[in-house]
Amino acid sequence: MLTGGPSAAGGVDRGPFVAPDVAVVGAGPVGLAIAWRCAARGLRVVVHDPAPGSGASHVAAGMLAPVAEAYFGERELTALLTESAGRWPGFAAELAEATGADLGYRTEGTLVVGLTSDDLAEARRLWAYQQGLGLPVTPLRPAQLREREPGLAPRLRGGALAATDHQVDPRRLVPALRLAAERAGAVLVAEPVRRLREVRAGVTVVAAGCGAAVLTGLPVRPVKGQVLRLRAPGGGRPGFRHVIRGYADGEHVYLVPRDSGEVVVGATVEERSDLDVSAGAVLRLLRAAVDLLPELAEYDLVETVAGLRPGTPDNAPILGPLPGHPGVLVATGHHRHGIVLTPVTADLIADLVTGGGPDPLLAPFRPDRFATTGDAVPVAAGAATTPAHSTEDDSWN
Amino acid sequence: MLTGGPSAAGGVDRGPFVAPDVAVVGAGPVGLAIAWRCAARGLRVVVHDPAPGSGASHVAAGMLAPVAEAYFGERELTALLTESAGRWPGFAAELAEATGADLGYRTEGTLVVGLTSDDLAEARRLWAYQQGLGLPVTPLRPAQLREREPGLAPRLRGGALAATDHQVDPRRLVPALRLAAERAGAVLVAEPVRRLREVRAGVTVVAAGCGAAVLTGLPVRPVKGQVLRLRAPGGGRPGFRHVIRGYADGEHVYLVPRDSGEVVVGATVEERSDLDVSAGAVLRLLRAAVDLLPELAEYDLVETVAGLRPGTPDNAPILGPLPGHPGVLVATGHHRHGIVLTPVTADLIADLVTGGGPDPLLAPFRPDRFATTGDAVPVAAGAATTPAHSTEDDSWN
């Protein structure tokens, strides 16, 4: 056991007024998966969130893409993404077993495509880097792309297959995780946590996404993403099976097909904290999407939505003990990678809670890599000193 | 009195079971305005509609544009549009007087602009035609356009001012008309009319938009229009005051600013009867809008919606007695012109109801210009023989 000393027994009812072993702040996929893992190990777990699953995961596309998202200068993050993506098949199977839920987990793989020769040149630089890391990315000629997806625009200049980059539906994942956590004994409390000292528990895990900033003083900032949801006409499935990630006249876009007929089109990356949907963002996303896959023009536009990713100064998550706060662990800052990182985060944080030594994988992501005030920022001061945060985010869960 | 003989007195209570003098089927702007006019003349009026104002008017932009919409081959329609637009200032004043409502009636006029030289060439042909009819359309150079609206794209090739083409907000108009009609004594009945013979009244006026087809057998068909609503950022007013109608790379688009901050962007014209919003339509509208007025990219996209205009074979409304049905008048088929034609339709139909001779203006728009079955099409047969109609439209009001 890391700190704070939760008592051992999970099966013994110590009454409603006994502090739980673990309090998780935040019922997004990360918080719920941690709660599930901890409860399954016999700990008494409470999860605090007034609106489970209403944060970044509600907007997320659910790409599990350690290969396509292996960017320059992020080798340690790529290692964590790869590790977590490797855990996803087992995680999905276990979750489906525990709940009977269909998570929309699909393994057709991802096609990365370039519309113009400039787009293709940009993509090729990254593929060379990814291949240099030993990641499975296979360049394909236009004819090979269209063999796999006949709907792709004839003028595409080239692409690549990332066969191991899969997808899951976050809007199915979150209710499944909640059910699994509750079946394992975790209790959801639909009330917000405004300060850490309100929480009474052996260990507190802050998995509050953007809300972690005011609770912990850590440099987590909202990174706005706008996302569209289309629907194939006539109630059918989309006319393509792979996740498609495209470079289209300099615009980066992804297209994620679901069996339900839904296609997720995303996403902007904006240093803003509002949740407004802008005409310009919708225009850019639709233009890039239709340029890559012309049939999408005939699809219904059924949703436009914005969410806030929890970003950090180095774009990597913050995982581990909060300096100066014995008994507090942090699992936030997952930025664009919350869904893919859910399994490894849940496993490694549960290890810390139950007293396992920190996994070496966690070392690059410790909270103490950032200077903090040594004490959590009070809500009011936090709001005042982080003007980029919307007021909706100043409290969380 | 045309037919059916409503008794004279408006002020005498003849109890709830006496048939009204006038039954109006349809509580869109046309039906409500007719009801208001008739009730104000002392007639007992009932209006049937399960969802007042939920048809084409809910989607309409509210342009009052007899000049900009004076198209080749529609001289008689242009005359009617011009007559009705001329009645709008008095109609709006009277309605505001009767209800205290702000209708969003604005008189800044309309700028018609062409983005490319091809667009401008197309527009100029029409302006020459409109000027030949004596309509007030004044060509403007790009610099003159930007003097009036500095936000217009610098690359616009030219435009024209239609100073007398005004606008009103249909979503304010409909509740005001309803209030005025009710204050004048009209009674709204929130039940649908499935067959004309269900209606007991001295005169029945079918103002049911697309729903008139199954009630009357007249060739009214749905013409789908998709429309966006943007909102100026920060709660301000839009950065432009004129209605802007543009030709943008062959795409026709209009931009209607409201004092509330709303900007209506429309509209597709599609021979379809569904109400789905398609990705391609939103893309085309946004692209044209942003090409003409780049600042719109920063506006919020707050609504995407589709509506069905009641179209006719000659694109002109159907106004007057229904052949073979004594006591039944028709006021439908207003297509793209329902809002601008509301005053003249209400006045002239009320004249017919109260026994005035038909105004010569109505002559080109009589229902008997179309062959009908001589009897209303039963609902089932109507649905079967007009497959382009959605089932939602097969009954109306």
Q: Which of A276, A280, A301 faces B279 most closely, judged by CB atoms? A: A301
Chain A residues bordering chain B (beta-carbon distance below 8 Å)? 228, 230, 233, 276-280, 282-283, 286-287, 289-290, 296-302, 304
CA distance A303 to chain B (A): 9
Q: Note whether A135 and A13 are within 8 A (CB).
A: no
Q: Burial letters for B292-316: b for 16+ Cβ neighbours within 10 Å, e otherwise?
A: bbebbbbbbbbbbebbbbbbbebeb
Measured distance CA(A212)–CA(A376) in Å, rounded: 10
Peptide bond before residue B267 is cis, with ω within 30 degrees of 0: yes
* Cβ contact A279–B289 (<8 Å): yes
Least confident of A142-151, A226-235, A371-380, B298-307: A371-380
Q: Hey, CA dihedral for A390, A391, A394, A396, is it positive or negative?
A: negative
Structure tokens at A127: 């593929």
Q: Is A351 strand, coil or helix?
A: helix
Mark yes or no for CB contact B301/A304 under 8 Å.
yes
B228/A301 Cβ within 8 A: no
**What's chain B's length in residues?**
397
pLDDT of residue A395: 37
Secondary-structure percent of chain B, ordered helix, strand, coil, rounded to 5: 35, 20, 40
Residue ranges and CATH numbers for the domains of chain B are: 1-105+167-220+312-397 (3.50.50.60), 110-163+222-308 (3.30.9.10)
pLDDT tops 70 at residue B382 = no
CA dist A208 and A16 (Å) reads 24
Interacting residues of A177 by C-beta distance below 8 A, sequence separation 6+: A29, A32, A33, A36, A95
Q: Name the nearest CA neighbour of B236 among B304, B147, B293, B299.
A: B299
Lowest mean pLDDT among A201-205, A372-376, B126-130: A372-376
Chain B residues within 8 A of A229 when measuring between CB atoms: none
* Structure confidence at residue A386 (pLDDT): 35
Cα separation, B76 vs B319, in Å, equals: 13
Q: What is the pLDDT of residue A358?
A: 87
- Residue A344 confidence (pLDDT): 98
Q: Which one-letter DSSP state was computed for residue A176?
A: H
- B299: nearest CB among A230, A278, A300: A278
Cβ <8 Å between A300 and B290 = no
- The confidence band for A388, taking pLDDT boundaries of 50, 70 and 90, is very low
At residue A6, the pLDDT reads: 42
- Nearest-CA neighbor of A164 among A239, A72, A83? A83
Nearest CA in chain A to B230: A279
Q: Is B325 exposed, middle or buried (0-12, 13-18, 19+ CB in 10 A)?
A: buried
pTM (2 decimals)? 0.88
Cβ-nearest to A283 among B278, B286, B300? B286
> Which residues sit opposite B222 in a β-bridge?
B310
CA distance B226 to chain A (A): 11
Q: Is B290 close to A280, i.e. CB distance below 8 A?
A: yes
Please give the residue of chain A at the shortest CA–CA distance from B278.
A300
- B279 and A287: CB-CB below 8 Å? no
Question: Which tokens go with B140?
Answer: 């403007």
- The secondary structure of B318-336 as a DSSP string is EEEEPTT-TTEEEEE--GG
Question: Is-contact A95 A176, C-beta < 8 A?
Answer: yes
Selected residue with higher pLDDT from B3 and B99: B99
The residue of chain B nearest to residue A290, with distances taken between CA atoms, is: B280
Nearest to B331 by CA among B313, B312, B314: B312
Q: What is the pLDDT of residues B145-196, one digit of tens each?
A: 999 999 999 999 999 999 999 999 999 999 999 999 999 999 999 999 999 9
Give me the total of CB pairs closer than 8 Å, taking one residue from chain A and one from chain B: 69
Q: Pick the closest to residue B249 from B116, B125, B113, B111 (CA basis).
A: B116
* Element (DSSP H or E) covering residue A207: none
pLDDT at B389 over 70: no
CA distances B49 to B190, B274, B333, B350, Å, are 5, 21, 18, 19
What does the block give as tokens for B255? 């931009």
Chain A residues within an 8 Å CB radius of B301: 277-279, 282, 304
Q: Which residue type sits at A84?
A: S
pLDDT in tens, B310-335: 999 999 999 999 999 999 999 999 99
Residue A149: phi, psi to the nearest 5? Answer: -135, 90
Q: Report yes or no: A205 and A350 within 8 Å, Cβ to Cβ.
A: no
DSSP annotation string for A56-70:
HHHH---EE-TTTT-
Residue of B287, B300, B304 with shortest CB distance to A278: B300
Residue B16: pLDDT band with limits 50, 70, 90: low
pLDDT, one tens digit per residue, over B218-227 is 999 999 999 9
Distance separating alpha carbons of residues B108 and B118, to the nearest angstrom: 27
Identify whether the C-beta of residue A44 lies closer than 8 Å to the C-beta of residue A6. yes
- The answer to whether B177 touches B207, Cβ cutoff 8 Å, is no
- Give Dmax (Cα) for chain B: 67
How wide is the angle at C-alpha B309 spanned by C-alphas B55 and B317, nearest 5°? 115
Element (H, E) at B121: helix B117-132
- A179 neighbors A99 (Cβ within 8 angstroms): yes
Mean pLDDT over A16-23 rounds to 85
Question: Rounded to whole angstroms, what are the CA distances from A345 to A34, A319, A320, A339?
Answer: 7, 8, 10, 10
